[in-house]
Structure 1
Amino acid sequence: MSTKTDETNDAPATPVAVAVAAPRPRPKWWVRLIAFAACLLTLWHIFASFLWIAPYSALREVPTQEVLAGYMLPLFGQSWSVFAPEPINGDYHFNVRAVIEKDGEEIETGWVSATDVELSMIRYNLFPPRAGIQSSEVASGQMNAYNKLDDKQKAVAALDFAAEDWEAWMVRSFDELDVETDTTAYMREEHLATAYATQVAYAIWGDDVVRVQYRVSRQNVVPYAERNDAGAQRPDPTFSTTGWRGPVEEEGQSRDDFGDVFRHQFESTQK
């Protein structure tokens, strides 16, 4: 029996080309620097958010309270008070009026609810701006500080302080009282509330504002035990009584920018 040799088996093997991946270039130094900085920023943000949300501890003094608050507010501030054991159970309102000078005569305006104007920015809005909650936060801080004052100190807060350098005058009035309650926290909130009221007044009534007055109120919701009562009504609001104040503006504030946003929203609520 003859054997037929397959000629193809005798042919020399054809070399197969093997693709070798080229080594990946190392990132440029500035890319590595940006990535490292982004990692550090992310770690800091997570750490700061944890300290802000968690109950107070000595860890908060690592960056100090001032540094932590300066970073978290106003953009990253958070509150978990919608949950038990102490959920939010009331609304804050911030109202403003002013005395304006017109044709040599001082005219007192009516009250305007800055809170209602701001809430109209976020109602039915899928992308609500943070500007819609500023007055509520200012009102909350002011009333919380006000409620810690002694009755004598509250009487001082109800007085009019509209002269130049009125804040120093108000501090001296507090110091003259025989009361141990520290008013530092209240004066900080007083300054903030007056500065905010000033911007609202300028936005609505223009640059002829002579004095401003703000009124903070809080109204609780229907008590939980009465939630199913068809005739249940919300309790009457409580107020922090404050007098007239001289206008206050912070360095770097833009009266025009605030006015453009707030005035437009205010006018839209009047239609």
Structure 2
Amino acid sequence: MDADKTETTAARRPVVKRTLMVVAMLITALHLFASFLWIAPSSTMRQVFPGNLLSEYMIPLWGQSWSVFAPEPINGDYYFDVRAVVKTADGGEEVTDWVRATDVELGHSSYKLFPPRSAGLGVGVASDIKGSWEDLPNDQKAIVKLDYFKGDDSVDRLTNKLEEYDDPDGTVDDYLDSEHLATAYATQVAKAIWGEDVQRVQYQAARQNVVPFAQRNDAGAERPNIQPVPVGWRALVTEPHQSDEEFAEYFCASDKVRCADEQ
């Protein structure tokens, strides 16, 4: 009886191994195919994956692009600066200095053999809102520069004001999504640095191009001026299920900033 069981078990093992091998090969083939579609120039082949399934699979763990290679290498730096209004001990308010959040986060990756992917979070936020802001018509750009932080309806008031002007290309909704993300990020940065007494935040995303390639050997060449995104003061934004404590622990671990609990 024991011999029969042993023979049966031994016979099943190759079947199990072959099944696992086939499954592993299928997963590998699917991953390689998805990576090919993601890396290759955008085409209708991406419709093989329904909806946003391809981007949701590739981002954030597997995202790749050709942006670091010629003929269009990365040719500029993005900055994200944050400041806040904080409540003082005597009940007043005080405006903080600007802090460049992107420099703080890049401090997590500089000279690190295994840098965290989160070190590029601020750069991603700055790039996103810079692109969305550039698409806005001039009338809406002027509105964005104003302050919207009073009351629980500040976002609604900003939205209604932006929609009062023509938006032929439908850019307002995309900008508002980008601003919501940027404000939420700025809120976490501000609370990490200045604590829970933060009342409102202001941020400035910007891009600065590198010296043009044709001037690379010019000793007097200077980088072009910074291209800022002027945004007024905004009310705090806190997303559900986020942890300010965990973000502060990560953000303040950089040697590029002194946070509230260190001052």
Normalised-by-shorter TM-score class: 0.7 to 0.9
Query: 1:134-155 CA distances to partner (integer Å, 9 max, x unpaired)?
Result: 1111111111111111111111
Larger Rg over CA atoms: 1
Q: TM-score, normalised by structure 1?
A: 0.83
Question: Offset of 1:269 from its aligned partner?
Answer: 7.0
CA contact (8 A) 2:82 2:202 kept: yes
Q: Show CA shifts across 1:228-255 (max 9, x none).
A: 1111111111101111111112222111
Structure 2 equivalent of residue 237 of structure 1: 226
User: Residue by residue, what CA displacement relative to the aligned partner does 1:109-141 show, whole Å, maximum 9, x if unpaired?
Assistant: 110011111111111111111121111111111
Could you say which residue in structure 1 is the equivalent of 2:45? 59
Q: Are 2:28 and 1:42 equivalent residues in the alignment?
A: yes
Aligned residue number for residue 6 of structure 1: none
* Partner of residue 83, structure 1: 69
1:42 is displaced (CA, Å) by 2.9
Alpha-carbon separation, structure 2, partners of 1:26 and 1:132: 48
1:49, 1:133 → 2: CA distance? 21
Partner of 1:18: none
- Look up the SS of the partner of 2:188 in the other structure: helix
Measured after TM superposition, the shift of residue 28 of structure 1 is 8.6
- Mapping for residues 150-189 of structure 1, pairs under 5 Å: 150-163=137-150, 164-182=152-170, 183-189=172-178
**Which of 234, 238, 249 is the equivalent residue of 1:249?**
238
Query: Which whole-Å CA distance do the structure 2 matches of 1:167 and 1:60 have between them?
Result: 35
Give the CA RMSD over aligned residues.
Answer: 2.5
Give the distance between the partners of 1:235 and 1:268, measured in 2 at CA: 27
* Cα contact 2:82–2:201 (8 A) shared by 1: yes
Cα distance in 2 for partners of 1:207, 1:217 equals: 27
Aligned to 1:188, the other structure's residue is in SS state helix
Equivalence map 1:1-271=2 (5 Å): 24-27=10-13, 38-103=24-89, 104-163=91-150, 164-182=152-170, 183-266=172-255
Instruction: Give the match's secondary structure for 1:264.
Output: coil
Tell me the TM-score normalized by structure 2.
0.85
- Identity over the aligned pairs, expressed in percent? 48
Task: Return closer, same or farther for 1:187/1:86 CA change in 2, 3 Å cut-off.
Answer: same
Specify whether residues 39 and 219 from structure 1 end up closer, same or farther in structure 2 by C-alpha distance, changes over 3 A only: same
Mean Cα displacement is larger for which, 113-122 or 97-106?
A: 97-106
Tell me how far apart the structure 1 counterparts of residues 229 and 19 of structure 2 sit (CA, whole Å): 52
- CA drift of 1:37 comes to 5.1
Structure 1 residues 219 and 268, CA gap change in structure 2 (3 angstroms): closer
1:91 is displaced (CA, Å) by 0.4
CA shift, 1:262, in A, is 0.5
Aligned residue for 1:236, secondary structure, equals: coil
Stretch of structure 1 that moved more, 157-166 or 110-119 = 157-166
Query: Secondary structure in 2 aligned to 1:147?
Result: helix
Report which stretch shifted further, 56-65 or 227-236: 56-65
**Other-structure match for 1:16:** none
Structure 2 spans left out of the alignment, 5+ residues: 1-6
Shift of 1:36: 5.5
Residue 75 of structure 1 and its aligned partner are, at CA, apart by 2.2
Q: 1:75 to 1:269 in 2, by over 3 A?
A: farther
Partner amino acid, structure 2, of 1:54: A
Classify 1:268/1:185 alpha carbon distance in 2 versus 1 (closer, same or farther; 3 Å).
closer
Aligned pairs, number: 250
Distance 1:99 1:243 in 2: 12
1:43 partner SS: helix
- Offset of 1:51 from its aligned partner? 2.5
Instruction: Say if 1:92 and 1:217, in contact at 8 Å, map to a contact too.
Output: yes
Matched position secondary structure for 2:12: coil
In the superposition, relative to structure 1, how do residues 269 and 159 fare at CA in structure 2: closer, same or farther (>3 Å)?
A: same
**73-82 or 103-112: bigger deviation:** 73-82
